[in-house]
Chains A and B, each alone.
Chain A
Amino acid sequence: MKSKNKIITPLEKELLKVAEAKVLSLEKKSGSDFEELHKALKVFKEKGLPDKNLEKWRNTDLFEWYQKPFSPVAEKEKFTKEVDDIFQCTVQGFDSNVVSILNGHYYSPERTTLQSFKNGLIIGSLAKAKTQYPQYFKKYYNKIAPVDTNEITAVNTLFAEDGVFIYVPDGVEVELPVQLIKLVNKRGLMLNTHNLIVLGKNSSFTFLHCDDSINHDDSFINTLTEVHLGENASLDLYKLQNINDETVLLNSSFFSMERNSRLKVNVLTFNGGSIRNELHVNLNGEGAEADLSGLYLMDKKQHIDNQVYVNHNAPHCNSNEVFKGILDEEASAVFNGYIFVERDAQKTNAFQRNNNILMTSTAKVNTMPFLEIYADDVQCSHGATVGQLDNEAMFYLMQRGIPFEDARMLLMFAFAAEITDDIKIETLKTNIDDMVKKRLRGELSICDRCVLHCTTPDKPIEFEIDLSKI
Chain B
Amino acid sequence: MEDKLSQNKVLEEVTGSDYKYGFVSDIENDAAPVGLNEDTIRLISAKKEEPEWLLEFRLKAYRHWLKLEEPDWALIHHPPINYQDIIYYSAPKKKKELASLDEVDPELLDTFNKLGIPLEEQKVLAGVAVDAVIDSVSVKTTFKDTLSKHGIIFSSFSDAVKDHPNLVKKYLASVVPYTDNYFAALNSAVFSDGSFVYIPKGVRCPIELSTYFRINAANTGQFERTLIVADDDAYVSYLEGCTAPMRDENQLHAAIVEIVVMNNAEVKYSTVQNWYPGDKEGRGGIYNFVTKRAACKGVNSKVSWTQVETGSAITWKYPSCVLMGDNSVGEFYSVAVTNNHQQADTGTKMIHLGKNTKSTIISKGISAGKSNNSYRGLVRVSKKADGARNYSQCDSLLLGDKCGAHTFPYIQTANDSAIVEHEATTSKISDEQLFYCQQRGIETEKAIGLIVNGYAKEVLNKLPMEFAVEAQKLLAITLEGSVG
Contact = CB atoms under 8 A, between A and B. Distances in A.
Indicate whether A and B are direct neighbours in the complex (CB within 8 Å): yes
Interface of A: 55, 343, 346, 356, 358-388
Interface string B387-427: 00000000010111111111111111111111111111111
B473 interface: no
B418 A386 contact: yes
9 contacts: A55-B73, A362-B383, A366-B411, A367-B410, A367-B422, A378-B398, A379-B425, A380-B425, A385-B419
B401 A384 contact: no
B422 A383 contact: yes
B418 to A, nearest CB: 7
A367 B411 contact: yes
Contact of B407 (A359, A377, A379, A382): A382
A388 B414 CA distance: 12
Interface residues of B, number: 36
Contacts of B407: 369-371, 382
A366 B419 contact: no
A365 B419 CA distance: 12
B412 to A, nearest CB: 5
Contact of B424 (A55, A360, A362, A383): A383
A409 B399 CA distance: 47
B93 interface: no
B404 A361 contact: no
B422 A369 contact: yes
Contacts of A359: 416
Given A379-B427, A383-B423, 13 more contacts: A55-B73, A358-B413, A358-B416, A362-B383, A364-B412, A366-B410, A367-B410, A368-B410, A371-B406, A378-B398, A378-B427, A382-B424, A385-B422
B123 interface: no
Given A366-B412, A368-B411, A376 B400 contact: yes
B362 to A, nearest CB: 15
Interface in B32-87: 73, 75
Contacts of B162: none
B144 interface: no
A372 B345 CA distance: 12
- Is chain B's interface secondary structure helix, strand, loop, or mixed overall? strand
Contacts of A380: 425-427
Nearest to A351: B425
A358 B422 CA distance: 16
A377 B7 CA distance: 13
Nearest to B411: A367
Given A380-B425, A380-B426, A386-B411, A373 B406 contact: yes
A346 B410 contact: no
A376 B423 CA distance: 19
B419 A372 contact: no
A213 to B, nearest CB: 29
Contacts of B164: none
Nearest to B422: A384
B178 to A, nearest CB: 23
A372 B417 CA distance: 31
A117 to B, nearest CB: 45
A362 B417 CA distance: 11
B428 interface: yes
Contact of A381 (B381, B411, B426): B426
A388 B416 contact: yes
B205 to A, nearest CB: 37
B316 to A, nearest CB: 16
Interface string B412-449: 11111111111111111000000000000000000000
A385 B422 CA distance: 6
- Pick the most buried of A361, A367, A373, A375: most chain B CB atoms within 10 A of its CB: A373
Interface in B181-217: none
A369 B420 CA distance: 13
Contacts of B401: 343, 346, 375-377
Nearest to B400: A376
Contacts of B403: 374, 376
B394 to A, nearest CB: 9
B86 to A, nearest CB: 25
Contacts of A383: 421-424
A358 B428 CA distance: 36
A381 B416 contact: no
Contacts of A356: 413
B432 to A, nearest CB: 13
Contact of B405 (A360, A373, A382): A373
B108 to A, nearest CB: 44
A22 B426 CA distance: 50
A368 B414 contact: no
Nearest to B429: A376
A56 to B, nearest CB: 11
Nearest to A334: B412
A381 B413 contact: no
A305 B408 CA distance: 17
Given A358-B416, A378-B427, A388-B419, A373 B404 contact: yes
B343 to A, nearest CB: 13
Contact of B409 (A374, A375, A378, A384): A384
B428 A376 contact: yes
B404 A360 contact: no
A385 B423 CA distance: 9
A55 B72 CA distance: 11
Contacts of B399: 376
**Complex A-B, nearest 6 residue pairs according to Cβ-Cβ distance, in ascending order:** A376-B398, A358-B416, A380-B426, A386-B413, A371-B407, A376-B428
B420 A385 contact: yes
Given A343-B401, A370-B408, A376-B398, A381 B417 contact: no
Interface string B103-147: 000000000000000000000000000000000000000000000
A374 B425 contact: no
Nearest to B418: A386
Contacts of A361: 383, 414-417
B12 to A, nearest CB: 13
Nearest to B384: A361
Contacts of B404: 372-374
A388 B416 CA distance: 7
Given A376-B399, A381-B424, A388 B417 contact: yes
Given A55-B73, A370-B407, A378 B419 contact: no
A373 B396 CA distance: 10
A146 to B, nearest CB: 24
A378 B417 contact: no
B398 A373 contact: yes
B412 A381 contact: no
Nearest to B406: A372
B383 A369 contact: no
A388 B389 CA distance: 12
A370 B413 contact: no
A384 B422 CA distance: 5
A462 B42 CA distance: 78
B228 to A, nearest CB: 32
B286 to A, nearest CB: 24
B415 to A, nearest CB: 6
Most interface-central of B414, B423, B426 (chain A CB within 10 A): B426
